[in-house]
């Protein structure tokens, strides 16, 4: 067993940096970069920045993205495409024309996993443990859908679920409760506390 994300779509992606290229943080950074690219306006300013940072979606490097955006903004100011007043905070200027400031700010975070769980609804998987932002019936069902793809003998195993928002652990959750979306059983019978 290794590490995965269960995306908001239900897709399961490997997040074990020891085996593949991406760990949990790299996946989150890649999505934040994609949001930045998608939010740029379809004009010369947006196209130049988009062209410069799109390469980092497949090889997420948050520092390189931040440096590249600032460098391109400096060029755009010199070329007269962005007002000189934007030199103090070009990101604020870009946000004013639609740039996704929140996703860009994630690139300043050392660990974007919390953002991925809270804002994207992703579920983190490490071995037999799942971490969700807030445990709801939908998250429980999404975990239940993913378990057969992640574990052999899955219906005989028990799983651990952490609710990140409340710092609550649910230990030894049976597959039947997860697969049935029985949130009340999980909260009553499996909660160990905060």
Check residue 42 and give its pLDDT: 95
Residue 194's pLDDT band, with cuts at 50, 70 and 90, is: low
How does pLDDT run across 70-127, given as a tens digit for each residue?
Answer: 999 999 999 999 999 888 899 999 999 999 999 999 999 888 999 999 999 999 999 9
- Of 181, 94, 104, 191, whose CA–CA distance to 145 is shortest? 181
Contact 32, 112 (CB under 8 A): yes
Q: What is the pLDDT of residue 189?
A: 86
Angle between helices 24-39 and 44-53 (to 10 degrees): 160
pTM of the entire predicted model? 0.89
- Tell me, yes or no, whether 167 and 98 share the same domain: no
- In the predicted structure, residue 193 carries a pLDDT above the cut 90: no
Both 102 and 120 in one domain: the answer is: no
Verify that 156 and 182 share a domain, yes or no.
yes
Last residue of a domain, one of 95, 111, 127: 111
Residues 122 and 186 in one domain: yes
**Residue span of the structural domain in which 9 resides:** 3-23+115-193
Same domain, 104 and 32: yes
Q: Are residues 156 and 124 in the same domain?
A: yes
Last-in-domain residue among 92, 111, 130: 111
Q: Which residue has the tokens 């490097």?
A: 61
Q: Evaluate whether 176 touches 150 at the Cβ level (below 8 Å).
A: no
**Length in residues, the chain:** 194
Domain co-membership, 98 together with 131: no
- Whole-number pLDDT of residue 173: 96
pLDDT at 19: 65
Same domain assignment for residues 135 and 186: yes
pLDDT at 20: 62
Strands across the sheet containing 158-163: 12-14, 3-6, 123-126, 129-132, 158-163, 168-174, 191-193
* Closest C-alpha to 29, from 118, 106, 134, 140: 106
Shared-domain flag, residues 75 and 10: no
pLDDT confidence band for 168 (50 / 70 / 90): very high
| 63-81 core/surface letters (b: 16 or more CB in 10 A; e: else) | eebbebbeebbeebbeeee
Clarify whether residues 86 and 123 are in a common domain.
no
**Residue 40 confidence (pLDDT):** 96
pLDDT beyond 70 at 162: yes
Residues 6+ apart with CB under 8 A from 76: 45, 48, 49, 82, 90
pLDDT tens, 28-73?
A: 999 999 999 999 999 999 999 999 999 999 999 999 999 999 999 9
Number of domains in the chain: 2
* Residues 103 and 121 placed together within one structural domain of the fold: no
Question: Across the chain, which distance is largest between two alpha carbons, in Å?
Answer: 65
Domain boundary residue, one of 87, 111, 135: 111
For residues 147 and 89, state if they share a domain.
Answer: no
């Amino acid at each position: 067993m290794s590490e995965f994300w269960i995306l908001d779509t239900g897709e399961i992606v490997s997040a074990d940096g020891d085996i593949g290229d991406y760990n949990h943080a790299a996946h989150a950074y890649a999505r934040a970069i994609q949001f930045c690219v998608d939010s740029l306006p379809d004009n010369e300013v947006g196209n130049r920045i988009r062209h410069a940072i799109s390469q980092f979606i497949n090889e997420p490097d948050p520092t390189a993205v931040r440096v590249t955006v600032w460098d391109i903004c400096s060029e755009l100011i010199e070329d007269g495409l962005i007002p000189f007043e934007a030199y103090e905070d070009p990101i604020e200027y870009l946000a004013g024309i639609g740039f996704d400031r929140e996703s860009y700010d994630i690139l300043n975070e050392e660990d974007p996993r919390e953002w991925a769980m809270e804002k994207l609804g992703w579920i983190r998987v490490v071995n037999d443990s799942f971490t969700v932002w807030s445990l709801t019936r939908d998250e429980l069902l999404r975990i239940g859908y993913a378990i057969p793809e992640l574990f052999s003998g899955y219906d005989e195993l028990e799983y651990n679920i952490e609710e990140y928002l409340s710092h609550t652990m649910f230990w030894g959750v049976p597959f039947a409760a997860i697969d049935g979306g029985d949130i009340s059983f999980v909260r009553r019978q499996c909660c160990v506390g905060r």
